[in-house]
């Protein structure tokens, strides 16, 4: 059963592959904001996955985060999520991202529990 208090943690190394320069969100060799967003989504998603019914998953629907400090190539960043609100299928997470010096990002992330087959059917109905 999904209940508030579920926590997730995930750590990644900042490499050339996830810099702003490489992903196109800037020109500098620092951890990219889109990479931070992907880390937040993955951490939240994986944290609740063991509690979902078979044939369901979660999809990200809203982010309200600040990327407040740069992290250079060679350092690690760790994302911590906590499920703080459950409203039927809507899940809200508090998120914090840190490197070894301190906080580099924080905010909230919203996900919805979906039926995989129904969700994919609706998405694929957009195809000609």
Q: 68, 60, 66: which is closest to 30 by C-alpha?
A: 68
Rounded-to-integer distance, Cα 108 and Cα 32, Å: 18
Map out the domains of the chain as residue ranges: 7-124
- The active-site residue out of 67, 80, 109, 110 is 67
Annotated active-site residue 67? The verdict is: yes
Q: Catalytic one among 33, 56, 78, 96?
A: 33
62 as an active site residue: the answer is no
List 41, 43, 80, 110, catalytic entry:
41
In this structure, whether the domain defined by 7-124 belongs to CATH 3.30.1240.10 is answered with no
Tell me the pLDDT of the chain (128 aa) as tens digits. Answer: 899 999 999 999 999 999 999 999 999 999 999 999 999 999 999 999 999 999 999 999 999 999 999 999 999 999 999 999 999 999 999 999 999 999 999 999 999 999 999 999 999 999 99
pTM: 0.96
pLDDT score recorded for residue 1: 84
63: closest CA among 104, 94, 109? 109
- According to the model, what pLDDT value does residue 29 have? 98
């Amino acid at each position: 059963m999904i209940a508030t208090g579920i926590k997730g943690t995930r750590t990644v190394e900042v490499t050339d592959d996830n810099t702003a320069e490489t992903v196109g969100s800037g020109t500098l060799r620092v951890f990219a904001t889109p990479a931070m967003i992907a880390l937040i989504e993955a951490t939240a998603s994986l944290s609740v996955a063991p509690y979902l019914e078979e044939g369901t998953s979660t999809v990200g629907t809203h982010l309200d985060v600040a990327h407040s400090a740069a992290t250079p190539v060679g350092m690690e960043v760790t994302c911590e999520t906590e499920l703080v609100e459950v409203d039927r299928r809507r899940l809200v997470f508090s998120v914090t991202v840190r490197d070894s010096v301190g906080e580099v990002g924080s905010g909230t992330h919203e996900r919805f529990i979906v039926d995989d087959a129904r969700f994919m059917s609706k998405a694929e109905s957009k195809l000609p």
